[in-house]
Amino acid sequence: MGANDLKKLLEETADKLSVFTNINLFDEYECTRKELYDLIREFFNDEEILKLFSYPALKDCTPGVKEGILKLISDENVLLQALRNDDIMDAIENWQVFEIIIKSSENVKFQLLHDEGFIERSQLKDYQIQKILLSLNPQKIAQILEERTLVIEKFKLSNWQISDLIKKLLDEDEKIKFSKMYNMDNYLMVDIASGFSTAKKIDFILTSDFNKYDTIKLMRLLEPEDLIKFLNGNKQFWMEHDIAPYEIVDGLDTEKQQKLAEQIQTMDLELYEKKEIIAVLDKKVKQTLELADFPEELKKVLQITSKNKRVSIDLNGDLEQYRGLDRLMSINGMEFTEEERKKLIKLCNICPNMEVISILNSTAGFLSTGKEYVEAEQWISSVLDSLKPEYSQAQKLAIIDNAIGRRVSYSPDFETEVYDSKDSRALWKIVSTGYGVCNGIANLEKYMLERVGIESEMASSGSHVFLIIKDIELPLASGEKVRGDTIVDPTWNLAEQRFGGKPSCFCINYEQARKKDIDGEGKDRKSHKNDEQLSDITLSLDDKSLRALFTSVGLADREGKFPIKELVAESNSIDVNYANNPNENIRRQLALLKKFCPEFTRCQNSSISVLKDILLNGENLPFNKCAVNRVYNRADKDRRPVIYVYIDSNELGRKFYFADKENGEFIEMPEENFKNQFECYDMDLKASKGIRPWENSSKTKENTDLSTSSEKLIAEEGR
């Protein structure tokens, strides 16, 4: 029997529902689902369809058949009864429930979405609920969004799903309200704002507390004419947000770029800003752009290629064409011939704020400005030009290591909350500012050594970086010469080289380097520990040979004694002459630091070493406590480091001194004034468990290094 037989039976039977009592529907009547649905639609109303599910023929039919029959119901109340009936809905999958609901009326959808029991039983997925919500009219969506707990906790919608709902709303203020209510991420807020009117977009840009890059994305939503008006009328806004117009233009599609570029002369911008815009335009736009009436400076920029907001630099071309494009220029300055380096210096003089990259390792590059590059290269050249042609590699190494120590100090804000790791590792910035940390300083020395043909390799213990000098010939005092690999630690030599001492980490072997890692209390700092890479390095200079080497280049006297002997001798003399006047003893010791190092306030780490190891370490200065470290002036927003000396003495009481950078000298200050004006860094306080040196009641001598960056400066005669 088929569908026609079933139809005939229904036509002949008064109680049509009874037809489904005693038949096995699909076994007895070989009708398709469509034929069955057509018969049910023809012979039964919605209420009767609901009753059909209680008859044997349909009670146990497949979920797919149930789904098809439920879709035949048009009466909202009947459909709601059916969907809420557990017997009817038994075994129907969530995707089938979704297919039924998505085709139902808004009222049915709205009621079911508020039926927590139904949502839970039906096990609808978040994406299914989202699609149902998106099928509602904007007013209904807004009503649902008002119920934040329902949306977040019951529907479990994500922010991006909610943002799609917000975009469906018609009222722009409502969009903003719900965006804030649901704490939309900025990138979603930008997407939502893309549907705003021009006026609302501008208002949103000006009032939203977005970061620079999200603000730029918002500004790109404007049409070119509106963007030009915005830039002209809100210059203070985009300048305060550190936004450059070219950064906006770079992300525009070619059509918008074209329209904006054609009107660039109407933009209230500086010439260099217009040049930047032209420089970042898409290649196709540049090719079609006509600038007949534009200044020559803009026409020249059309010839420059760019990618990712960076222009391609041709050192052999007309360098003047790059003037004003500093912010778009970046170049790796590490590997150049002398001729290329001269051209780069010329370019950096034209573009002093361009980026010059120094490579520290295979993954890390650090930025110096063009101005810093020029200043550093001038200094580097002055050092390298001073090397006589007849000098051996060892002599050149001695002069270069010494020169770095006299120029560079360990970053005084290392391990503070204001420390900038990038600046202290950028090669030319280190030379220009005079501050660096171990891997940056080692990289600087490596760079200079390569320039004179000395091969070196950076080595690391994991916490400290230094150099392996490769295959170098070292002269011994006996007249012999030895060749091999040796270790130089330019960072640990800084203070000694600055003050004319004998560098203790110059051409040493691995065993010697490891011995220097043991502090006065026997603790191994493991600063040079790297058995795998360094254990075979056995080449070193003995004391006599090292002194002879430094004598040969004028860094030690004819007897092999180093210039620091004069500082030591004068300090000892002061200590003896003012043994009974400790106040004057201290004053003169501090003045002696300025005499031997006028820039002492700006080479803090090296100065601290000299103060604690020599000048304030005399036999006639028996302090209970002497702390030498760094603080910052509370009035200094940059919190730059200042050297201070705190002394606790039975005879003098508590004394405070700070290094005044303006006058270049130590100034004594009353205790309360010092405490009011200066403060310790947060990280220093954390390390000392919140106790400042002058708050510690222990009566022990306390000399504090900035870090373990420098070897102890031993004040022995003849260093």
Helix (H) or strand (E) holding 255: helix 254-262
Q: What value does the mean pLDDT take over residues 429-447?
A: 96
3-state secondary structure 218-250: HHCCCCHHHHHHHHHHCHHHHHHCCCCHHHHHH
Q: Is the pLDDT of residue 502 over 50?
A: yes
Q: Collapse the DSSP code of 192 into the 3-class scheme (helix H, G, I; strand E, B; otherwise coil) and give the result.
A: helix
Q: Is the pLDDT of residue 638 over 70?
A: yes
Burial class from Cβ neighbours inside 10 Å (0-12, 13-18, 19+) for residue 185 reads middle
User: Cβ neighbours of residue 543 under 8 Å, at least 6 residues apart?
Assistant: none
Between residues 513 and 88, the one the model is more confident about: 513
Q: Which region among 2-11, 71-80, 189-198, 218-227 has the lowest average model confidence (pLDDT)? A: 2-11
Q: Is the pLDDT of residue 533 over 90?
A: yes
E-strand spans in 337-403? 355-359, 365-369
CA gap 268, 291 in Å, rounded: 18
Report which of 186, 200, 203, 195 is spatially closest to residue 165, judged by C-alpha positions. 195
**Contact call for residues 250 and 223 (beta carbons, < 8 A):** no
Residues 516-524: contacts with CB within 8 Å, 24+ apart? Answer: 516/492, 516/711, 520/712
Q: Is the pLDDT of residue 712 over 60?
A: no
pLDDT digits 0-9 by tens, 670-694 = 999 999 999 999 999 999 999 999 9
Q: Collapse the DSSP code of 697 into the 3-class scheme (helix H, G, I; strand E, B; otherwise coil) and give the result.
A: coil
Q: Is the pLDDT of residue 714 over 80?
A: no
Q: What value does the mean pLDDT take over residues 9-18?
A: 85
How is residue 290 written in tokens?
Answer: 């006509």
CA 174 from chain centre, in angstroms, equals 35
| Residue 486 confidence class, pLDDT cut points 50, 70, 90 | very high
What pLDDT sits at residue 698? 66
| Residue 57 confidence class, pLDDT cut points 50, 70, 90 | confident
pLDDT-above-70 percentage for the chain: 95
Q: What value does the mean pLDDT take over residues 42-50?
A: 91
Q: Is the pLDDT of residue 56 over 90?
A: no
List the strands of the sheet with 465-475, edge to edge. 456-460, 465-475, 481-488, 506-508
Calculated CA dihedral for residues 395, 397, 402, 408, nearest 10 degrees:
160
Amino acid at 432: S
Q: Collapse the DSSP code of 458 into the 3-class scheme (helix H, G, I; strand E, B; otherwise coil) and give the result.
A: strand
Q: How many C-alpha atoms does 163 have within 13 Å on its Cβ side?
A: 16
E-strand spans in 542-601? none
User: Cβ neighbours of residue 151 under 8 Å, at least 6 residues apart?
Assistant: 144, 145, 157, 162, 182
What pLDDT sits at residue 511? 96
pTM (2 d.p.): 0.80
What pLDDT sits at residue 204? 93
Helix (H) or strand (E) holding 665: strand 665-669
Report which of 222, 273, 229 is spatially closest to residue 252, judged by C-alpha positions. 222
Q: Is the pLDDT of residue 214 over 80?
A: yes
Q: Is the pLDDT of residue 697 over 90?
A: no
Q: Is the pLDDT of residue 198 over 80?
A: yes
Q: What value does the mean pLDDT take over residues 520-528?
A: 91
CA gap 527, 81 in Å, rounded: 77
What pLDDT sits at residue 716? 40
- Beta-strand pair 456-460/465-475: antiparallel
Q: Is the pLDDT of residue 700 over 70?
A: no
| Residue 529 confidence class, pLDDT cut points 50, 70, 90 | very high
Residue labelled with tokens 């330019």: 490
pLDDT digits 0-9 by tens, 571-626 = 999 999 999 999 999 999 999 999 999 999 999 999 999 999 999 999 999 899 99
- Beta-strand pair 330-332/465-475: unpaired
Averaged confidence pLDDT in the chain: 91
What pLDDT sits at residue 414? 93
Q: Which region among 82-86, 138-142, 245-249, 355-359 has the lowest average model confidence (pLDDT)? A: 82-86
Calculated CA dihedral for residues 304, 213, 265, 353, nearest 10 degrees:
-50
What pLDDT sits at residue 705? 40
How is residue 313 written in tokens?
Answer: 């630099």
Q: Is the pLDDT of residue 710 over 70?
A: no
What pLDDT sits at residue 10? 85
**Contact call for residues 157 and 125 (beta carbons, < 8 A):** no
CA gap 473, 484 in Å, rounded: 7
Between residues 14 and 248, the one the model is more confident about: 248
Residue labelled with tokens 């299914």: 128
| Residue 141 confidence class, pLDDT cut points 50, 70, 90 | very high
What pLDDT sits at residue 709? 43
How is residue 661 written in tokens?
Answer: 């950078």
What pLDDT sits at residue 639? 95
CA gap 316, 577 in Å, rounded: 65
Q: What value does the mean pLDDT take over residues 160-183?
A: 95
Q: What is the DSSP letter of 524?
A: B
Q: Which region among 53-62, 63-72, 151-160, 444-453 has the lowest average model confidence (pLDDT)? A: 53-62
Residues 648-656: contacts with CB within 8 Å, 24+ apart? Answer: 648/623, 648/624, 648/694, 648/699, 649/582, 649/622, 649/623, 649/624, 650/624, 651/582, 652/582, 652/583, 652/586, 654/694, 655/586, 656/694
